[in-house]
């Protein structure tokens, strides 16, 4: 008779804690919970509640990963209105950083990692678009070279030494700037100018999607030199967020009508086309923070007729998961 050991070359292990990382198809016995378990992968993306932000906010700069995220600045409840506060996420809870942005602002963008980030643009409340750019080293923010054009409701993507600032509420709304770690340079503009859009990927391989011009489903691909139109989002919206790369990403949230209604709609990008994910954000909202990857994204804050603290964690298709083997 064929046995598990005969097929795999080893017997089912008995362990007190589940193994990590997981290998799809792996079977083991957890002697602490008295259960046989199996390593599998997800087939659709799902959202689950994470730890709430300490300060409700929307339109903040965001950077990092699902387990090491950064939220800085944004619009907060009156009477403060505009914040410089910075919070750090460890995969479970947000902690307030002792120092905040040098310039308090809202409707800004950011990119990079929790310990090496850039925050740029934004506005006062109310106010014209700002050019301010600041760099974060994991504990403090420092001013660096400013954007060439002040703007708010822009998008950003990349790493601390190589990023993009895309679109935004300015003139023209299609302007793109490239960051080399020390200065911004104007590069070729979007084909469709807009604000409240999202961008993901790298300085030389990015996607810009959604936005208001008015509400748009437009999606464009950046090759390091120019933007090319790609298939449109299934749901046109602005105030949208994203996580991932040019070849594999997820977008979520936004408003289809400029803020009268909000959506938690989630879509997946495979490098060629958009697919609507059957599971949406539990809290529909616009101007939400977004970081991470298609298989492990984080959504936090945002606006839904008021600033939000809600944080949600996304486990995308193909992510490893542990399942308990039952007899039923």
Q: What is the mean pLDDT of the chain?
A: 93
Instruction: Name 189's Cβ contacts closer than 8 Å, sequence gap at least 6.
Output: 172, 174, 175, 176, 227
Instruction: Name 185's Cβ contacts closer than 8 Å, sequence gap at least 6.
Output: 148, 177, 178
pLDDT in tens, 78-102: 877 999 999 999 999 999 999 999 9
Q: What is the distance between the alpha carbons of residues 96 and 93, in angstroms, rounded to a whole number?
A: 10
Instruction: Write down the CATH superfamily of domain 46-315.
Output: Kelch-type beta propeller (2.120.10.80)
**What 3-state DSSP class applies to 236?**
coil
The closest alpha carbon to 262, from 251, 271, 253, 250, belongs to: 253
Residue whose pair of structure tokens reads 């509420």 in the numeric block:
169
pLDDT at 3 over 70: no
pTM of this prediction?
0.88
pLDDT at 185 over 90: yes
User: Binning pLDDT at 50, 70 and 90, where does residue 8 land?
Assistant: low
pLDDT at 7 over 70: no
DSSP 246-295: SSSEEEE--BSSSSSS----EEEE-SS-EEE-S---SS--BS-EEEE-SS
Q: What is the distance between the alpha carbons of residues 175 and 149, in angstroms, rounded to a whole number?
A: 8
pLDDT in tens, 152-168: 999 999 999 999 999 99
**What 3-state DSSP class applies to 8?**
helix
For CATH 2.120.10.80, the residue range(s) in the chain are 46-315
Give the residue-averaged pLDDT of 65-85. 94
């Amino acid at each position: 008779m064929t046995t598990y050991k005969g097929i795999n070359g080893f017997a089912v292990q008995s362990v007190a804690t589940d193994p990590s990382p997981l290998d799809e198809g792996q079977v083991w016995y957890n002697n602490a919970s008295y259960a046989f378990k199996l390593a599998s992968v997800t087939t659709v993306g799902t959202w689950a509640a994470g730890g709430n932000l300490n300060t409700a906010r929307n339109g903040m700069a965001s950077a990092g990963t699902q387990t090491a995220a950064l939220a800085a600045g944004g619009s907060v409840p009156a009477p403060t209105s505009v914040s410089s506060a910075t919070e750090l996420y460890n995969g479970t809870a947000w902690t307030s950083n002792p120092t905040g942005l040098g310039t308090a602002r809202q409707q800004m963008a950011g990119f990079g990692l929790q310990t090496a980030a850039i925050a740029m643009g934004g506005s006062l409340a109310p106010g014209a678009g700002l050019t301010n750019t600041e760099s974060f080293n994991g504990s403090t923010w420092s001013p660096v070279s400013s954007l060439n054009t002040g703007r708010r409701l822009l998008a950003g993507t990349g790493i601390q030494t190589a990023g993009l600032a895309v679109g935004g509420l300015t003139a023209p709304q299609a302007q793109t700037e490239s960051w080399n770690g020390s200065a911004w340079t104007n590069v070729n503009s979007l084909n469709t100018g807009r604000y409240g859009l999202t961008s993901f990927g790298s300085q030389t391989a990015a996607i810009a999607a959604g936005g208001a011009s008015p509400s748009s489903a437009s999606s464009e691909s950046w090759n390091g030199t120019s933007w090319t139109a790609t298939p449109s989002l299934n749901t046109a919206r602005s105030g949208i967020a994203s996580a991932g790369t040019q070849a594999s990403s997820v977008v979520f949230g936004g408003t289809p009508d400029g803020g009268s209604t909000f959506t938690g709609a989630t879509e997946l990008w495979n490098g060629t086309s958009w697919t609507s994910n059957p599971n949406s954000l539990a809290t529909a909202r616009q101007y939400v923070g977004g970081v991470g990857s298609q298989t492990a994204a984080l959504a936090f804050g945002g606006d839904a007729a008021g600033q939000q603290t809600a944080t949600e964690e996304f486990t995308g298709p193909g992510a490893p998961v542990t399942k308990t083997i039952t007899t039923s």
